[in-house]
Amino acid sequence: MTSFFADRRALKQIVLNLMANAVKFTPDGGEIVVSVRAVDRTCALCVSDTGIGIADEDLVNITKPFERGRVGACEHKDGIGLGLAITKSLVELHDGAMSIDSRPGEGTAVWVKFPNRVAYSS
């Protein structure tokens, strides 16, 4: 069994932000998958969807505060563009890393990876 030590509220916020985006940008009938796995000394969480995806030119800035990807000429989605920025900051506070793989019209996968920490007592 692998142990993973993290701030409970921060981890909850990370998962909520990623799930909210997946739900917001996946049309009815789409699929959202949440997976977690331990690999070597890393705990990896992935939220993937079959939603609208993010264009390559938007991926560069999508994790900056108040940046939002384009969703279409006539379509507006709620939000001010803080979810991924906050998520990235919380992941980095845990010495982790976040990566996004997305293709317009196919979906998005957001990976967050945390180093496994061992708690020692003296």
Q: What is the pLDDT of residues 46-59, one digit of tens each?
A: 999 999 999 999 89
**Model pTM?**
0.84
Query: What's the maximum distance between 2 C-alpha atoms anywhere in the chain?
Result: 60
Question: What tokens were used for 118?
Answer: 């061992």
CA–CA distance, 81 with 121 (Å, rounded to integer)? 41
pLDDT at residue 119 is higher than 60: no
CA–CA distance, 120 with 92 (Å, rounded to integer)? 22
Q: Which of 104, 105, 101 is nearest to 47 (CA)?
A: 101
DSSP-derived letter for residue 72 is -
Question: What tokens were used for 79?
Answer: 């939000």
CA–CA distance, 31 with 73 (Å, rounded to integer)? 24
CATH of 8-115, one of 3.30.565.10, 3.40.50.700, 1.20.58.100, 3.30.1380.10: 3.30.565.10
When pLDDT is cut at 50, 70 and 90, the band that residue 5 belongs to is confident
Q: What is the mean pLDDT of residues 48-71?
A: 84
One-letter amino acid of 5: F
Q: Tell me the Ramachandran region of residue 81: left when phi exceeds 0, alpha when psi lies from -120 to 50, beta otherwise.
A: left
